[in-house]
Chain A
Amino acid sequence: MIVEGNYLLPGSPDAIWDLLMDPAVLAKAMPGTRTLERVEPDRYEGVMRVGIGPITAAEFALGIVLSDIQRPQRYAMQIDSKGRFGFTRGLARVELVPEANGTVMRYSADLQIGGKIAALGQRLLESVSKLLLRQGLEALNQELQTRLGGAPS
């Protein structure tokens, strides 16, 4: 499944870049993240707990490895999550483009979702992904506005 889009964030690419590398901020962009630690400069590990509607929330072990790091223009994230209900893996590319009133974050991810959740919930995967992405971007935007305090929005 390919997920891509643009999202306008407050602040300059430099300011946003530093915050995006902060595990506490990164966690906000991924709904359901319970813990996230930077175990190496370019590697994060954590735990997510995700549930939708009738599905009881389940824990997923989460690993993120950064590559192609070109501060403050772009980076890529290899994302792996695994839990009782299945797995997600894929590569997400993030690009920061300065604009008059902030920074546009361009993102694209090619995600593979497998296991029980993909077999039983196939018809819902895209809706669920869009929902989590939207919640994540809104939470990230709010976090950046709080942290950058009074930055243009």
Chain B
Amino acid sequence: MKPPVFAYHRPDTVEQALALLVEHEDAKPLAGGQSLIPAMNFRLAAPAVLVDLGALEGLRGISTQGNELRIGAMTTHSSVERSPEVARVAPLLAEAMPHIAHPQIRNRGTLGGSLAHADPAAELPAVMLALGARLVLQSAQAERRVAARDFFTGLFATALAPGELVTAIEIAALPAHSGVAFEEFARRHGDFALVGVAAVVTLDEGGRCREARIALLSVGEGPVLAERAVAALHDEQPNPEAIRAAAEAAGTDDIDPPADLHASAAYRRQLARVLTRRALSRAVDRARA
């Protein structure tokens, strides 16, 4: 299948890219193109202008400053997957990467592209919520930082204003006694997950749960923070009973999952319970290690 006719620009600088987005109201930024191009080929998406961000070398790369990891928006999933810095500072992100589609897609797809697309079944939005990541957004006028929990606003909807680009993602290292885990279930590896869970747990000196963040994917209009599940764990010894109670809250109270051909809403709730329990158990074990 072929896309409808469109104009194509490949700017050399971020400033030029932003100017093009302002100039052409019906322009779409093209990152790795792993969602946009298929949508155009099926003629579901028909932007009049594409602004290819592929030449913006400044948006590529992974660096650490002190305790903080900074990943350029145009960094590919594969680069993130193989980065020793990501594995060290943000092991949750490293653990989630192999679940994203297939290697061919990870070779071209980018972190910023996936986050800006905000597919409710995507892994990265949930991981960023669980990590408390910040997104750096730039327009022709200004740069601003938005917390992941404020960035995802609905079904394929984000806090990005027209003419604004995601330029980087910033992730702070977790405090001591923290553990993380990522779990998802798909019928075949690489399919859109029926449900996924990203969990972060930080214990205090007494081994009680000081802080936790649990984010679920594929259970709503966007990634969902399981706040009641976290409340069930807070200040508790994270023993199997407490984890079970939190997992029950995640599947029963925190989500209102949709049904489709692949899974009923009740099945998604059950998957959310099981996967939350598994993710929390592993995260707690790692936090104690």
Seen from chain A, the residues whose Cβ lies within 8 Å of a Cβ on chain B are 52-56, 85, 116-117, 120-128, 130-131
Contacts and interface: CB of A to CB of B under 8 A. Distances in A.
Nearest to B42: A120
A131 B260 contact: no
Given A53-B118, A120-B44, A131 B155 contact: yes
Nearest to B157: A53
Given A123-B121, A126-B259, A53 B47 contact: no
Mostly, the B contact residues are loop
22 contacts: A53-B156, A54-B36, A54-B156, A55-B39, A56-B44, A56-B46, A56-B47, A116-B42, A117-B44, A120-B44, A121-B44, A122-B260, A122-B261, A123-B192, A123-B261, A124-B120, A124-B155, A126-B258, A127-B120, A127-B155, A127-B220, A128-B155
Given A120-B44, A128-B155, 6 more contacts: A53-B117, A54-B44, A55-B45, A116-B42, A123-B121, A126-B259
A130 B258 contact: yes
Residue of A120, A124, A130 most packed against chain B (CB within 10 A): A124
Contact of A53 (B121, B155, B262): B155
Interface in B152-188: 154-157
Contact of A125 (B35, B192, B221, B260): B260
A55 B46 CA distance: 8
Contacts of A122: 260-261
B117 A131 contact: no
Contacts of A125: 260
Interface in B248-289: 258-262
Contact of B35 (A54, A116, A121, A127): A54
Residue of B35, B118, B156, B262 most packed against chain A (CB within 10 A): B156
Contacts of A123: 121, 192, 260-262
Nearest to B120: A127
Nearest to B260: A123
